[in-house]
Structure formats: structure tokens, C-alpha cells
Amino acid sequence: MIRCFLLFLLSVFFSVPANALESYADLVEEVMPSVVNISTEKTTVSTDEEVDNLMIEPELTGRESLGSGFFIRKDGHILTNYHVIKDAKAIYVINSEGKDYKAKLVGVDQPSDLAVIKLDLDKDSKDTFSPVIFGDADKARIGDKVLTFGNPYGLGISVSQGIISAKSRRIGLGEQQYIQTDAAINQGNSGGPMFNTDSEVIGINTAIFTTRGATGVGFALPSNIANWISSQLIDGGKVRRGWIGITVSRGIDRYTGKEGFVITEISEESNAYKEGLRVGDIITAYNDRIADNIDTFRIFTETMEPGQALRLKVSSLGEETRNVVRVQEMPEKALKNVTNKALSEHNQYYHQDSDAGIFYISELNIAVKEATPRGLMIMKIDRRSPLSEKGIKSGDIILEADGADIFSPENLLDTLHTAAVDDFRPLALLIQGTENTFYVNVEVKPEND
């Protein structure tokens, strides 16, 4: 009898998963002093008297903005998201001990949606701060445990636990790639850190995707990019991106069968052109790396210091050559295109009300529903919408955008994105009203500023 009882106890003990006994309390206690809450006062005030519940996360100016950040230098430098402090006339920081500080802006990088601020300390201040240690996000693996910190809904610094669900996600925020996690990331977590179990920051919480009635999915910008950008913002106030002046796509050399990057466009002002590279040439390797991933290649070249040498293996008409191209600083025109794409795609999302099939298009501040046989019926229109000033109202249907038939919110978003990348040119819409059908030109400004 006693033997059976002991066997029962042993079976219960060993049936408990090992991870059920784990605690992250020591880790949290170690890194919590690095995390801060951020609030701002906006420069303009919204005239809207109310916001309909249909409008999911509209851009409300004049209201206190809440977000998160973390120390990256002992002297009070803090990294956060640009959208957390955008248009702020005053920035306030509260550390983990509840002490208030005022902060000043050091620099922003719109393509990555990052910003660095610094506590505005008195000259005789003896306050010291605990900077994070950046880890290598490239070495993080799918399935690794992570902790995300932030200020959800303004409640105060909180921590959530999860795993890395995926890597190298493209989520429509410029050309950046993100770490996906199931750890809870909510409104107010933007700018907060994602730690691995070695107390290293491997990402900065940036975005969520969710629909009503569903658990959200969180995304974090990898630490390698965040560290590189924040260092440049602190040292020089801006980010100097590398540029070689070419656009590439995947391809195969028909003479040799080798795969690589086909040059589809090349600037005559680039060092690549001066070195003899031309449209149609195929890059098969760069700096001893195989040319197999265009996103990796883009990140590699953009993060190179201007003046550094990029070694290329190039196949031209079946003949392989070796070229050395000196990386240049990305010129203003190219940087503007990168920034415009990021600005347009940062707002490029829609939220669905799963019960009613309603979609909110943030660029136009409208809620729509798919119409039959085509088009999007406007169910709700915010007075700040650029369509409102054109006399467009609820019940009208968007039939076409720039001559293309519209069948879904994705169609409209793609057209909006194309117009934004093209320096935010006006967009031609065909509208079916209650009395007639007409065309209007609509300007879609950066983030509806």
C-alpha cells in the first residue's frame, strides 16, 4: 500500500511539465529599471466632438499619447517608436520607480518608425539609469521564449510572456522585417522592449494585428536594426543609409544557369554604374555571401557605411566578373522614396468588424463594406476624411481608383500605397452617388497630416 502511494506521488511529480515551475521574476526585476512610460502633449487639437465606435484607432490629436521606451545609454537616452512622440510639443517620461522627467527629442527615423529622446536633466543631477544590452536578433530562433514590456492602455509598466512565432515578417510597414510573437502587445506597448531569457533586447515592440473577437499578433523590429539606427541618431542626429543605386529582382543567368539578383534599374549617378554594371547583369554573390535573398541584400547594403567597399560577383552575358563598388550615402531623392513608402504603409491597415463585415481604411478615415457586384460602400465617414470635403457621404460607393476596379479593401489599399510612393500624388476615384456617378481627385497626405 505504501509502495503504491509512493509510486503515485512520483508519477504526479514527474507529470508536471518542467516549465510550469519556472519563474521570470529575477529576470523581470533585473531589466525593469530600463523600461519607461512615455506620454506627450500634441501640437494640435481635434475638433471632433465624438468618435464613433466603428472607427477603430483613429488619429486623435490633442489627446495625451501613451507609449513605452527603454534606456539605451546611462546618460538618459531612450529609444521608442516615432509614432509615440510624433507631433509632440512636450514629452514626459516616468521610470519604473514612478519618477517624472521631461524629455527632449534627439532624432527620428521615419522609415523604421524609431525615435531617440533624452531626459532633460538639471546640470547638478546625479540620477543614473540602467541601459539595456542589445542581443543579436539574427541568432534568435522560432520557439524561443521572450518577454515584452510596455505601458498597455496607460495602466503602467507591465510584462507579458510568449515565444517567437515567426521571423522576417513583412507586415506593410515600409520594407522592414519583423519578429512575430504571441506575447501580448497592446495599445501603449509601442516602443517597449522585447527581451530574450538572457536579459538581452532582441526587438522593439512596434505593431499589432487583430480583429474583433480574436487574439492579437504582435510584431517587433529586430534589435540589430534598432541598435544601428539609434546609434546614428545619437551620434549624428540622422541615419546615413548606404546606397549602391540599383534595383534588383530574382533571376537566372540563361547562359550559365546561375541564380542571383538581376539588375532591373540602375542610376547613372551611382558608383555601380561607373564600375560598369548595367541593367540585365546578374549579381551571384556579394562580400562572400550567396545572392539568394533580396531583403537580406537590401538590409546589408543600407547598413553599410558610405565609403565602404561592396565586393560583387557579376555575371554579364555568361561572363563572370568581380567588381568592387564603393557604397554611397543614399541621396535625398532615394531617401524620400523610402520614407514615403514607409509613411504610406505605416497607415496601410484595415480593421474588420467580424460581425458586420465593416472595414476601417485609416488613410481615408472611412469605414466601408464590400458592395455587389463591385466597389466599397462607405458606411461611415469621418469629418477629417479627404473625401468629406469633396461632398462624398455615407451610402456612396467607391467603384474605381486610378482607373482600376475596386472589389475589396486590399484593392483600394494597394492603389493608395502606389499613389503615396509616387510622392503622394492625387488619387482619381470614381464614386457612385445616390443621384449620379462622378470622378473626384483626392489628395492623400502623409499620415493624413
Say how many C-beta atoms besides its own lie within 10 A of residue 68's C-beta.
Answer: 27
> Is 83 known to be catalytic?
yes
* 373: preceding bond cis by omega (within 30 degrees): yes
Task: Determine the Cα–Cα distance for residues 388 and 43; give it in Å rounded to an integer.
Answer: 23
288: DSSP letter: T
Please state whether beta strands 217-222 and 178-181 pair in parallel, antiparallel, or not at all (unpaired): antiparallel
Looking at the DSSP assignment, which residues form a beta bridge with residue 107? 116
Residue with cell 531583403: 295
Q: Which residues have CB under 8 Å from 96's CB, separation 6+?
A: 32, 33, 35, 36, 157
Rounded distance between C-alpha atoms, residue 93 and residue 191, angstroms: 13
What residue type is 329 in one-letter code? E
Of 113, 281, 382, 396, which one is the catalytic site residue?
113
Q: Work out the burial of residue 16: count CB atoms within 10 Å of its CB; fewer than 13 is exposed, 13-18 middle, 19 or more buried.
A: exposed
The rounded distance, in Å, linking the Cα atoms of 372 and 241 is 46
In the set 68, 158, 190, 270, the catalytic residue is 190
Cα-to-chain-centroid distance, residue 83: 10
Distances (CA, A) of 196 to 31, 46, 101, 145, 230: 11, 40, 28, 6, 20
Cα–Cα dist 432/137, whole Å: 49
C-alpha 193/C-alpha 137 separation (Å) is 12
Name the active-site residue from 34, 65, 68, 83.
83
Q: Can you state the angle between helices 409-421 and 332-346, rounded to 10 degrees?
A: 160
3 state SS for 329-372: ECCHHHHHHHHHHHHHHHCCCEEEECCCCEEEECCCCEEEEECC
CA pair distance 402, 444, nearest whole angstrom: 13
With beta carbons less than 8 A apart as the criterion, state whether 223 and 204 touch.
yes
Grid cell at residue 347: 497607415
Task: Mark residue 76 as left, alpha or beta (left: phi above 0; alpha: psi -120 to 50; beta: remaining).
Answer: left
CB 248 within 8 A of CB 224: no
Which residues are designated catalytic? 83, 113, 190
